[in-house]
Structure 1
């Protein structure tokens, strides 16, 4: 809310000596000029700290992932978890009404802090803000969790004092702010000519398309009993049609290298402009392509490379904040340096689509995903060899200087489609 301050002469001054009236008027004018509420005078929502820190120790990352499972399972009992690099310990936040069971569980992993808002409270604020097209005429691009400040971090296309003041006026210390360019879903040109058995990281599009609306695939997954095999991709890439999914073949032919069918697997669950949803639970930006054969590998290297890397592990919980991931997509190939800045985010894309929950990352090394990378593989390199599957790429802000991306945790794919990641 903008604050306007005005000064008026009271009617009660009527009939007072002219000198007194003039004196009061002069005083009022002086106050009006000197007391005008400037940008510096108004409370402003603080900026979200995006300063990259050191990598979180591997053991602590695994503990954070396990705590994230508890956090997401009982949002009213938990309020965030992060790694304090200065103190070298895990910090868990719990609300004032946390039960003794929660306090005991939180206390076994490090420091515990009491805060005023639970994760459930923060989600309500996040949901309210992401469905507003703008704040003080500035487009809202994302909302996520700022665990350390017990707040929601609001992404604005550009940051203004008016927008920060309006957020502070309405939400107080429950919000922080960051500048995030307009998000773009990245269906675009082709990359690979994949063949049976199929790998992740390949380019594809619905059969019959002319080659322009291609996306990428992420990881090979299967039902636990091995009865069905799939490739993961983004939900906004795979609008259910009567056509099969296909990858680009050779010469001037269109999409004639059929890899499987997308029919029936997300018709009632997901849409091109909304998150997958069952009941009141949302599952992000996901879809599957049913295929006849898979191998636990993804393509790696440049956009036209033919090399691959083995998928040797998979995350089974929510990614930890400050972990670092890589992306393999059909257009820009494989690149790393993406730091997870918030692990529960809602994003509003340029076409009005809102996807939640997704993971937000930041890359400042000059790399960024582009059109055609949607649906691609997000992964963690493993020092002993191979990679660990982390999620499915959804979109980015297309800014190589400060690249913000969003992806859906593979945890949600496992839950939504009753599948496991194929690993070697």
Structure 2
């Protein structure tokens, strides 16, 4: 499975949100703590904020995107991954484990270098914005970015890295989203995004 690189550490382990269950080992990670995006061996450019981990045989993972927060039983089927790179004006949804499904994001810029407040730098990112509604929050990192077709199925477009609000985080503030394009995951990591 893929997640945000800043959520893991190279050669480390992935645990569930409550940190009580082992899910599996990190296979590849392009995020260096205190620095940010780094080039993976054999890569010409930084690939955003990515990590790949293996699901332990004793753990369970499934492809549907949860539409609500951690306790939600409502989900959306994942049909495939989006075959085209993110483009300005494109619409996306997010599925953060904390905030659940949030739609209405519009891509504002691609191939952006962004410096987070802690001093780390994310390179080759996509920036999206929405004019109102709640924003992604801490804990949503590593969640899916996707688009929904007329049959209500999801197409993977990326992985959440971060975001926030222009001002107070209220319902009338503009929200910003930073994510890694799914195409970078397909190039930088072994294998391809599975479809169901």
Does the TM-score normalized on the shorter chain lie above 0.5? yes
- Residue in 1 that maps onto 2:54: 290
Unaligned runs of 5+ in 2: none
Unaligned runs of 5+ in 1: 1-230, 249-253
SS of equivalent to 2:134 = coil
Q: 1:295 to 1:303 in 2, by over 3 A?
A: closer
User: Greater relative contact order: 1 or 2 (C-alpha under 8 angstroms, separation 6 or more)?
Assistant: 2
Q: Which deviations, in whole Å up to 9, do the C-alpha atoms of 1:137-180 show, x marking residues without a partner?
A: xxxxxxxxxxxxxxxxxxxxxxxxxxxxxxxxxxxxxxxxxxxx
- Residue in 2 that maps onto 1:271: 32
The answer to whether the Cα contact below 8 Å between 2:69 and 2:97 also exists between their aligned partners in 1 is no
SS of equivalent to 2:37 = coil
Distance in 2 (CA, whole Å) between partners of 1:419 and 1:316 is 15
- Residue in 2 that maps onto 1:258: 22
The answer to whether the Cα contact below 8 Å between 1:296 and 1:310 also exists between their aligned partners in 2 is yes
Distance in 1 (CA, whole Å) between partners of 2:157 and 2:38 is 18
Distance in 2 (CA, whole Å) between partners of 1:270 and 1:387 is 27
> Which of the residues 90, 98, 108 maps onto 1:323?
90
Following TM superposition, where does structure 1 have runs of at least 4 consecutive aligned residues deviating by more than 6 angstroms? none
Q: 1:316 to 1:271 in 2, by over 3 A?
A: farther
- Residue in 1 that maps onto 2:14: 245
> Which of the residues 109, 121, 124 maps onto 1:342?
109
SS of equivalent to 1:359 = strand
Superposed displacement of residue 398, structure 1: 3.6
Moved more, 279-288 or 408-417: 279-288
- Residue in 2 that maps onto 1:375: 142
SS of equivalent to 1:397 = strand
Superposed, 1:22-61 pairs within 5 Å as none
- Residue in 2 that maps onto 1:412: 184
Which has more strand, going by share of residues? Answer: 2
Superposed, 1:214-233 pairs within 5 Å as 231-233=1-3
Superposed, 1:63-142 pairs within 5 Å as none
TM-score, structure 2 length as denominator? 0.86
Superposed displacement of residue 356, structure 1: 1.1
Which has the greater radius of gyration?
1
The answer to whether the Cα contact below 8 Å between 1:327 and 1:336 also exists between their aligned partners in 2 is yes
